[in-house]
Amino acid sequence: MKLLAISGALIGEKTSISVNKVLTKAGQHPHIETELLDLKDYKVEFVDGRPFDAYNEDTRTVINKIM
């Protein structure tokens, strides 16, 4: 199983640190693969219904990770 944790705070580190602590605990289970998606590391565009390939690379990367 894969667990994707998303930190959506664009300022500061507290949310990312807290989410990462949860992932560290979950990652101790041998059947759980973990990944942190920190949105402040990406320039995500507002999703407004355009075709998928019309968004920038960061937005497409984030969408693909969530899917």
Domain limits of the chain? Answer: 2-66
Segments of the chain with pLDDT less than 70: none
Has this prediction a pTM greater than 0.85? no
Q: What pLDDT, on a 0 to 100 scale, did the predictor assign at position 36?
A: 93
16-35 burial, b at 16+ Cβ within 10 Å, e below that, comes to beebbeebeeeeeeeeeebe
Q: What pLDDT, on a 0 to 100 scale, did the predictor assign at position 10?
A: 81
Q: What pLDDT, on a 0 to 100 scale, did the predictor assign at position 5?
A: 94
